[in-house]
Amino acid sequence: MNKETIEGQLATAWAARNLVYEPVTDGSTNDLVKALAEQGAPHGTLVVTEEQREGRGRNARVWLCPPGVNIAMSLLLRPRLALADAPLLTLIAGLSVAEGIEALISEARTSAAGDFAVGIKWPNDVVIDGKKICGILTESALTPEGRLKYCVIGIGINVHQTTFAEEVREIAGSVLSVTGIRVSRSALIEKVCAAFERHFAALEEAGSLAPVREAYEKRLLNKDRPVRVLDPRGEYAGTALGIDERGALLVRTADGEVCAVNAGEVSVRGLYHYAD
């Protein structure tokens, strides 16, 4: 994969049209995009690297990208959204990755290949057959007045990786390790960016997740399953019903109350295994 192979796949209007390719990054692609954003880089700028040595995920977790097998990329957005709506970008990013992976799997599938559905563990972890394939980290910058200046969406997709560190081996996988299907990383970048463009346009127009809520919930692995909400004010269990138009996970507790759980405020865990 290189800049030319990625650009040769692109059929997008603005996503990745300003493409920055780095063979190796010592820091994260998010940090690179934020530096470019401060220098005036346009909406849709995409940074892609072959090897990310010090990436990071949610809650300060490390997300490394070994050379030549995965995708580590970050997209710069200058959205016309209120600051409170920035978390919605993370959910449409997860949906876009799931759709992109499934599209390429479907194209490559043979009669001997299995039928693999690509799901989402709320809010944005992409999962195939119980294995986490992708992590997403969204960061925002504000104007001095406290308005949204820009957002950076970092996306790490395990594509061809077949070995994993012991501490993540039980939950982590790649497109190849789970499905046995080898997809083009350049083509996957294009599929994800194209899907994101569609969902981003719908989000900006509606100002909510209403246009994509049904598509998201079809992939939502938590839906209709028991979950435990790790709220600092007190943990509780319930059944996940789906999401609302603001991206909150709706959870019905044992006493029948429906709570809206907002991403970033609490954590949600399945009662039985990772993908619940």
Q: Model confidence over 244-274: pLDDT tens digits?
A: 999 999 999 989 999 999 865 555 665 445 4
In whole angstroms, give the CA distance from residue 26 to residue 92: 28
- pLDDT of 57 > 70? The answer is no
> Chain-centre distance of CA 97, in angstroms?
6
- pTM (predicted TM-score): 0.91
Residue 55 CB-density burial (10 A; 0-12 exposed, 13-18 middle, 19+ buried): buried
Q: Where are the beta strands (DSSP E) in the chain?
A: 19-25, 46-52, 71-77, 118-121, 125-128, 131-142, 148-157, 226-230, 236-243, 249-253, 258-261, 267-270
Res. 30 pLDDT band, cuts 50 70 90: very high
Tokens standing for residue 198:
């569609």
User: For residues 100 and 195, is the Cβ–Cβ distance under 8 A?
Assistant: yes
- Residues paired with residue 72 on neighbouring β-strands, in sequence order: 49, 156
Of residues 242, 119, 227, 137, the one with CA closest to residue 173 = 119
In whole angstroms, give the CA distance from residue 231 to residue 208: 25
In whole angstroms, give the CA distance from residue 44 to residue 25: 20
Q: Model confidence over 141-197: pLDDT tens digits?
A: 999 998 999 999 999 999 999 988 888 888 899 999 999 999 999 999 999 999 999
Which domains are assigned to the chain?
Answer: 3-215 (3.30.930.10), 222-270 (2.30.30.100)
Most confident of 16-30, 92-106, 255-269: 92-106
Q: What is the pLDDT of residue 59?
A: 47
